Amino acid sequence: MAGRYEISDNGWVLIEDIVSPPQTTARPRRDDRQVLNGIFWILCSGAKWRDLPERYGPWKTVYDRFRQWRDDGTFEAILARLQL
**Enclosing domain of residue 40:** 9-15+30-82
Per the domain annotation, does 71 fall within a domain?
yes
Per the domain annotation, does 22 fall within a domain?
no
What's the confidence (pLDDT) of residue 57? 92
What's the confidence (pLDDT) of residue 15? 92
Task: For residue range 38-80, list pLDDT tens digits in order.
Answer: 999 999 999 999 999 999 999 999 999 999 999 999 999 998 9
Per the domain annotation, does 3 fall within a domain?
no
Per the domain annotation, does 59 fall within a domain?
yes
Confidence band for 23, pLDDT divided at 50, 70 and 90: confident
What's the confidence (pLDDT) of residue 63? 97
Per the domain annotation, does 20 fall within a domain?
no
CA 26 from chain centre, in angstroms, equals: 21
Per the domain annotation, does 54 fall within a domain?
yes
Per the domain annotation, does 55 fall within a domain?
yes
- Residue 50 burial (CB count, 10 A): 8
C-alpha to C-alpha distance for 83 and 48, rounded to whole angstroms: 25
Report pTM.
0.85
Closest CA to 38 of 83, 69, 72: 69
